[in-house]
Amino acid sequence: MSYDLVVIGGGPGGYVAAIRAGQLGKKVACVEMERAGGTCLNWGCIPTKALLKNAHLFHTLQHQAQEFGINFDNLSYDWGAVIGRSRNVSDRLAGGVEFLFKKNKVDYVRGYGSIVDSNHVEVKGEDGTVQVLETSNVIIATGGKARELPGLPFNGISVIGSREAMVLPNQPKKMVIIGAGAIGVEFAYIYNAFGTQVTLVEMMPRLVPVEDDDIGDALKKSYSRQGIKCLTDTKVTATEDRGTSVSVTVENARGSEVLEADVCLVAIGVVPVLPGGQLPEFTDRGWIQIGDRYETSMSGVYAIGDIAGPPWLAHTAMFEATQCVDGIFEEGSPPRRVEAFPGCTYCYPEIASVGKTERALKEEGVAYKVGKFPYQALGKAQAAAETDGFIKLLFGEEHGELLGAHIIGANATDLIAEMGLGLTLEATIEDFHATIHAHPTLTEGVHEASLDAEGHAIHF
């Protein structure tokens, strides 16, 4: 079988690339060694959101039921059913990707892909059978996997990564989470909501360190109120894995402390997952090196998504997929590279951002205005009893253009899209002033924050 394109990897980057090429009438195969959807659908974005929904519902019933006029006795949960629901959601969506392959005439090839050369991909199935696919182009979209902490390898029981954290058969009484990025803080919320004693350890000064400083500070306050122990500016100096429990020694300005737990979740980043065979050149950090058209050092071989380095996000991988495919097959369609993109963390309160942080603007010497509006002053937030958080907008001092947006609070990950569009269209503070935002909605906070940047906020 001869193909126009063989995609190695069936995650958000890979399956979107394969479907897009199919839409263009090309003969396409997508090689995946596990299941369509990759880490995102099966072991990442989707199942964690299902777990977070369960956790937030249980947390709300535990702590706010009386506020809503709801009374009940003996509130409880079934841990197995909680895990089972998240797996069912993933299964449905992965099946949906397989349907889309059929709809767009994409051959779905199960097995481990290796690059023989620029025009041949070998696929080894689980049963040991081997087939070679001939192709004019190859896209590598094999993604990444959880990074281990040196000296503390994963064992799936007492030391785990995010994948195991989604399917632990028994809920631990105590958990230490090393790393307070998106993965770390999401699982901290999930397990804490169901009663696990959680300690978050982060070596940087704040939780979610890539976010604006105000966001990290606000999340730490919220998590501390919820009972999560947050150790920032804290280094791990020693570890001991006992097989069924773990000991983690940490050190900060207050001294040294030994943390005992049933489980240690290591959430310190990702490492590349590479196909076999011939491989293109790598960056100095081990990711596949690409050019402006997503091309690698091998002729006719391209790379997209996590395997090509940060940002390690499903939505940027999807963007890269369509850009890369259109660049290969569409005459006069130069592909675009990722520039401004939303970063979303689905803990409670949710976090979302796009563009520059205030910290970055100060470092770059850019003059700016800040507009900020609290959820507490929004009627919709009060009605929903979701008053924790704020919206923060950054505008250029001279021209009033939007430079960055940062939200912590309910539905932040949905609200951020307006600001992403604003950055793309180079919207100014006057554009936000002139846009009517419906009442009562959380988006009113965007309008009010833009007004606040010039000292004219009405409701605060």
- Domains of the chain (ranges, CATH numbers): 2-145+271-329 (3.50.50.60), 159-266 (3.50.50.60), 349-452 (3.30.390.30)
Whole-prediction pTM? 0.95
Question: With the C-alpha atoms ordered 37, 111, 269, 250, is the resulting torsion angle positive or negative?
Answer: positive
Q: Is 441 exposed, middle or buried (0-12, 13-18, 19+ CB in 10 A)?
A: middle
Q: Kindly state the tokens that stand for 238.
A: 């020693």
- Average predicted confidence (pLDDT) for the chain: 96
Q: Is 354 helix (H, G, I), strand (E, B) or coil?
A: strand
pLDDT digits (tens, 9 = 90+) for 216-257: 999 999 999 999 999 999 999 999 999 999 999 999 999 999
Of 182, 167, 185, nearest to 82 by C-alpha is: 167
- Residue 424 has a pLDDT of 95
Q: Cα angle vertex 372, ends 190, 313, to 5°?
A: 45
Peptide bond into 12 cis (omega under 30): no
Q: Is 415 left (phi over 0), alpha (psi -120 to 50) or beta?
A: alpha
pLDDT exceeds 80 at position 408: yes
DSSP state of 453: T
d(CA 422, CA 412): 16
- Residue 332 has a pLDDT of 87
- Residue 260 has a pLDDT of 98
- Residue 387 has a pLDDT of 97
- The one-letter code for the residue type at 278 is Q
pLDDT exceeds 80 at position 1: no
pLDDT digits (tens, 9 = 90+) for 412-440: 999 999 999 999 999 999 999 999 999 99
Average pLDDT of the residues in 200-229: 98
The answer to whether residue 63 is catalytic is no
pLDDT digits (tens, 9 = 90+) for 16-40: 999 999 999 999 999 999 988 988 8
**Exposure string over 58-73, b if 16+ CB within 10 A, otherwise e:** bbbeeeeeeeeeeeee
Q: Which of 63, 399, 439, 456 is catalytic?
A: 439
Residue whose structure tokens are 């495919």: 325
Question: With the C-alpha atoms ordered 174, 42, 155, 244, is the resulting torsion angle positive or negative?
Answer: positive
